[in-house]
Amino acid sequence: MKKLLLTLAVMASACIAQSQTLRIGLAEDPDILDPTLARSFVGRIVFSSLCDKLFDIDEKLNPVPQLATSYQWSADNKSLTLKLRSGVTFHDGEKFDAAAVKFNIERHKTMPGSNRRGELLPVTTVDVIDPLTVKINLSAPFSPLITVLADRAGMMVSPKAATANPTNFGTKPVCSGPFQFTERVAQDRIVLERFPNYWNKAEIHFDKVVFLPIVDSTVRLANLRAGQLDFIERVAPSDVASIKADKKLNLSRITELGYQGITINTHKSDQAQGNPLGRDARVREAFELSLDRAGIVKVAMDGEATPGNQWVPPSNSFYANNVPIPKRDIPRAKALLKEAGVTNPSFTLMTPTTSDGQRVAQVVQAMAKDAGFDVKIQSTEFATSLNMADKGQFDAYVLAWSGRADPDGNLFSFYGCKQPLNYSGECRPLWDDLLNRSRNTLDTSGRIKVFATLAAESAKELPIIYLYHRNWLWAYNKKLTGMRTIPDGLVRVQGLKM
């Protein structure tokens, strides 16, 4: 009898231990886990558990306090004063304070390879007023600043740890979020353990979070159904009906802030000149006209997306109505190719190995063929594809952007001259001027006018061909409660319970 009770006790303990670990299936393996250098969407999902920010956003995209409890703009809108949360410590025991904020913002701005530099370009200096008050000074009014600080540019890392390990900090990140870094095995898992001194620990109900990159959406779903995962992001649209019919699973859906598009190497490297798309805007226009966005959504996404031709969806208040979605026009596409003196243009379309990226590439390949394009598909592991894009080692690239609450987050780093995410390499002084005007303009109507001009200008050159705006599709164990659907597609662990 004692042996039986002991066995039952061990089994019960194992079940309890399992319920205290949240297992999340990711569509890719994240890139570097350093908020200053990181670029991937899945990395942002990991950061949601690892690194708190100065602000977060809610379901309606309003900024809400996180490490900053309040803010105040100066009369001329050229400085922002933040009051900081007291009693916060980093995972290494160091205190979070105004000096840490100053260190982090300066690190984001000056660190070699920083992908936050463009996001914080108008920031000139940071003043420590007192231990819990910091003032951010600007060269000009900067309307997106709060939303910028609600993402990676607002993530705070331990100054001590970052200074001690400046080049390899991302291999062992130290932040102030609810979970602290334990281990990472590339292409296999990222393990975080609960941080006992988290300032909001009453809202944390798991001892561990394990992120498992599983590229194939079918395999991700099979693992969820088998109980090996508790949550999966980016469900295949074709699996929605079966998930809804599964009594053990829940499904959440919300339209993303970003877009799925094709970035074209126009000036990023010498490879652009060997690429018919890169050499001539007429060829790019012909390529766009060979595509039926609604058809791509229907075939590649089973209808779980909204067709679009800009950096925000047509339902967004900042959408430029003066540049509507062009209809597919094969005769016009062929005429443009003839005008450009190009016959049977051939190029390579690089795509991540994710299921949705593969489907999009295959549909695009078939559609473009009708206009005479020979599209070769190059499937590349996601982090590797980002590195290749950064070096200009591509012709065209199927690249999704998860989006930001302010349109500037979908634009500036991609269109600004020499900005870190400008994979096309397009550099135009007029575009830079428009981007800066959109940042410096504080009223919404004025910004809409600037975006309308930029939309018209970019539609002439087409360094990025926008295709659609996805629905974030999540599936998870029905026992998992407290899930919040916010349009940025990130998983907030605060409040989650099994």
Look up the CATH number of the domain holding residue 436: 3.10.105.10
Count of structural domains within the chain: 2
Residue 185 lies in a domain: no
Whether pLDDT at 50 is above 90 = yes
Of 104, 133, 158, the domain-final residue: 158
359-383: average pLDDT: 97
134 & 266 share domain: no
Residue 323: HSE in the Cβ half-sphere, 13 Å Cα cutoff:
24
What would the pLDDT profile of 240-275 be if each residue is shown by its tens digit? 999 999 999 999 999 899 999 999 999 999 999 999
Phi, psi for residue 439 in degrees, rounded to 5 = -75, -35
d(CA 86, CA 263): 44
pLDDT value for 354: 87
User: H/E/C letters for each residue in the chain?
Assistant: CHHHHHHHHHHHHHHHHHHCEEEEEECCCCCCCCCCCCCCHHHHHHHHHHCCECEEECCCCCEEECCEEEEEECCCCCEEEEEECCCCECCCCCECCHHHHHHHHHHHHHCCCCCCCCCCCCEEEEEEEECCEEEEEECCCCCCHHHHCCCHHHECCCHHHHHHCCCCHHHCCCCCCCEEEEEEECCCEEEEEECCCCCCHHHCCCCEEEEEECCCHHHHHHHHHCCCCCEECCCCHHHHHHHHCCCCEEEEEEECCCEEEEEECCCCCHHHHHCHHHHCHHHHHHHHHCCCHHHHHHHHHCCCEEECCCCCCCCCCCCCCCCCCCCCCHHHHHHHHHHCCCCCCEEEEEEECCHHHHHHHHHHHHHHHCCCCEEEEEEECHHHHHHHHHHCCCCEEEEEECCCCCCHHHHHHHHCCCCCCCCCCCCCHHHHHHHHHHHHCCCHHHHHHHHHHHHHHHHHHCCEEEEEEEEEEEEEECCCECCCCCCCCCCCCCCCEC
Rounded to whole angstroms, the Cα distance separating 311 from 259 reads 6
Would you say residue 171 lies in a domain?
Answer: no
Q: Are residues 389 and 264 in the same domain?
A: yes
| Separation CA 275–CA 278 (nearest Å) | 5
In a domain, 47, yes or no: no
Is 169 within a domain? no
Mean pLDDT estimate for the chain: 95
On whether residue 4 sits in a domain, the answer given is no
**152 and 275 inside one domain:** no
State both tokens at 378.
């190059």
User: What tokens were used for 170?
Assistant: 């991302």
58-108 pLDDT per residue, tens = 999 999 999 999 999 999 999 999 999 999 999 999 999 999 999 999 999
In a domain, 467, yes or no: yes
Q: Of 107, 124, 158, which closes a domain?
A: 158
Amino acid at 291: L
Contact call for residues 465 and 293 (beta carbons, < 8 A): no
Q: What pLDDT score does 69 carry?
A: 98
| CA–CA separation, 354 and 36 (whole Å) | 25
Share of the chain above pLDDT 70, in %: 96
- Maximum alpha-carbon separation in the chain: 88
Over the stretch 436-451, which tens digit does the pLDDT of each residue have? 999 999 999 999 999 9
Q: In sequence order, what are the residues at sequence separation of 6 or more whose Cβ sits closer than 8 angstroms to the Cβ of residue 353?
A: 215, 379, 380, 381, 382
Judge if 152 and 269 occupy the same domain: no
* Alpha-carbon span 351 to 361, nearest angstrom: 7
CB 224 within 8 A of CB 206: no
Q: Residue 8 has what pLDDT?
A: 41
> Alpha-carbon dihedral of residues 149, 152, 155, 157, nearest 10 degrees?
-150
Pair (274, 139) in one structural domain: no
The last residue of one of the domains, among 110, 136, 158, is: 158
**pLDDT tens by residue, 444-479:** 999 999 999 999 999 999 999 999 999 999 999 999
- If you compute the radius of gyration of the chain from its CA atoms, what whole number of angstroms results? 23
Closest CA to 326 of 172, 462, 168, 153: 462
Can you give the pTM of this predicted structure?
Answer: 0.89
The answer to whether residue 188 is domain-embedded is no
Can you give the residue range of the structural domain that contains 70?
A: 52-158
Is 64 within a domain? Answer: yes
Rounded CA separation 54/136 (Å): 13
Q: What is the CATH number of the domain that holds 82?
A: 3.90.76.10
Q: Answer yes or no: do 143 and 268 share one domain.
A: no
